[in-house]
Amino acid sequence: MRIAYLDCFSGVSGDMFLGALVDAGVSPQLLYETVKALDIEAELEISRVQRGGISATKVNVYAHGEKDLPREVFWQQKQPAHDHTHSHHHEHGRGLSDIRKLIAATNIEAKPKATAIRIFEVLGAAEAKVHNISIDEVHFHEVGAIDAIVDIACAAVGAKSLGVDEWICSPLNVGGGTVKCAHGTLPVPAPATVELLKDAPVYSSGPQVEMVTPTGAAIVKTLVSRFASFPAMKVKNAGYGAGSRDPREHPNVLRLSIGESSVETRLPPQSDKTGRSGDPGFAASPEAETITVLEANLDDLSPQVLAYAIEQLLAAGALDVFTVPAQMKKGRPGTLLTVLCKPNDADRLTQIVFAETTTLGVRRRDEQRQVLSRRWETVQTDWGPVRIKIGSMNGSISTFAPEYEDCKTVAEKNRVPLKTVMQHALHLYTSSRK
């Protein structure tokens, strides 16, 4: 299974996360195109810097030509539309509904689009709770909003492009001291950051400055499924994203490691033909994990509405969604909707099932499943690159297939039949193995 590990020994912020993504292999062009799709008068500057002796990637956001501010998200309570006692800057704050519409209107893929909106929703909910206002009253100052929109949208798109099955995070170094923001001086970690990091392991070490920002905390809260020390994995790539500060005694970077989980199991002693036991050795086994199964019986729902509900569930992070015919009361034909998800996502996906279908109840249970170790290799077709997803057990390849979304993109861009792209990609991969 392909995993990503965030090592937050110097905390995490939006720009640090983007820098780590690029340093770990995400195409800068992908981020440039994402910013262009947002159409909010913003630009990215990507450069190489040194932080505490470590070479890292620094990503700066320019809004209306102004470099990203030290405090990347500023909240303000919504002001009356005709209150001219407030500055022009305040009047042009963006509300959460405005940001939802802005992101939804872009041509960003559905899944990262939903992830970006979700990050903003958890960020807005935290600010609303801290300031005792409704989430609709939370507005982001114009420059701060642009900075956050770029960070969050690019984070969602870049994270999706890595093809990671699970995000894991270290305990977070939140820093200390105080930080100045739009409404005064706040303790570090800021109240919204504390709200976002509930149940996450945190500590304070090193320079007494803000190390985890609200945007960074919201990204972690949305993407990460669990917190742990460095997991057992075969590291394939690693990247370092730089923060703005460069304290002499502390490398201000976020490290992102990407690789294959390496759960191992002890094999029984093997004997040769003489009956002597050989070295038992180790071999990778299919990894066991807990998933949650959600089920609902439906007998009065339009197929069009059901198809939309399935799209929403997948976009919101469901591992899989499927339906099977079912016979309901009084012989009526119906549908059994089944959703597979991570336990941490079960409550949120249950809410979507209730909101988008006519069911009055959702069954839930946890089950164990075993998954093959997965990795990607890229083949260069005549029309563009296509990733091949490879499943293996005990070091041997069990299955492989071209990534559908890659094939679809290539087929649409070059007006080539999808099946032709898929067949060509498979031929290239199988030929390379001979």
Q: How many CB atoms lie within 10 A of CB 219?
A: 30
Q: Cα(286)–Cα(292) distance, rounded to whole angstroms? A: 19
Cβ atoms of 317 and 346 closer than 8 Å: no
Each residue's pLDDT tens digit, 19-74? 999 999 999 999 999 999 999 989 999 999 999 889 999 999 998 766 654 444 43
| 290 backbone dihedrals φ, ψ, rounded to 5° | -95, 130
Residue 230: name the closest of 169, 293, 180, 162 by CA: 169
Predicted local confidence at residue 73, as pLDDT? 40
Average pLDDT, the chain: 85
Each residue's pLDDT tens digit, 300-325? 899 999 999 999 999 888 999 999 99
Predicted local confidence at residue 391, as pLDDT? 84
- Residue 291's SS3 state is strand
Please give the radius of gyration of the chain, using alpha carbons only, rounded to the nearest integer.
Answer: 24
Length of the chain: 434
Predicted local confidence at residue 290, as pLDDT? 85
Predicted local confidence at residue 96, as pLDDT? 86
pLDDT over 60 at 18, yes or no: yes
Predicted local confidence at residue 65, as pLDDT? 66
Residue indicated by tokens 């958890």: 122
Of the candidate CATH numbers 3.10.20.340, 3.40.30.10, 3.10.20.300, 3.30.1360.70, the domain formed by 373-433 belongs to 3.10.20.300
On the CB side of 66, CA atoms within 13 Å amount to 13
Predicted local confidence at residue 332, as pLDDT? 87
Domain regions of the chain by residue span: 2-260, 287-371, 373-433
Fold (CATH) for 287-371: Alpha-Beta Plaits (3.30.70)
Each residue's pLDDT tens digit, 283-301? 344 556 789 999 999 988 9
Give the dihedral of Cα atoms 85, 121, 142, 79; nearest 10 deg. -10
Predicted local confidence at residue 95, as pLDDT? 85
- Residue 91's SS3 state is helix
Predicted local confidence at residue 278, as pLDDT? 39
| 206 backbone dihedrals φ, ψ, rounded to 5° | 85, -150
- What percent of the chain is modeled with pLDDT above 90? 61
| 61 backbone dihedrals φ, ψ, rounded to 5° | -105, 130
Predicted local confidence at residue 394, as pLDDT? 62
Q: Are strands 202-203 and 172-173 parallel, antiparallel or unpaired?
A: parallel
Predicted local confidence at residue 311, as pLDDT? 92
Q: How many CB atoms lie within 10 A of CB 203?
A: 10
Q: Cα(390)–Cα(185) distance, rounded to whole angstroms? A: 51
Q: Is 39 exposed, middle or buried (0-12, 13-18, 19+ CB in 10 A)?
A: exposed
Reported as a pLDDT band with limits 50, 70 and 90, residue 265 is very low
DSSP one-letter code for 79: P
Each residue's pLDDT tens digit, 99-118? 999 999 999 999 999 999 99
Q: Say which range, 122-131, 136-145, 265-274, 347-356, has the weakest mean pLDDT.
A: 265-274
DSSP one-letter code for 415: T
Predicted local confidence at residue 283, as pLDDT? 35
Largest Cα span, the chain? 94
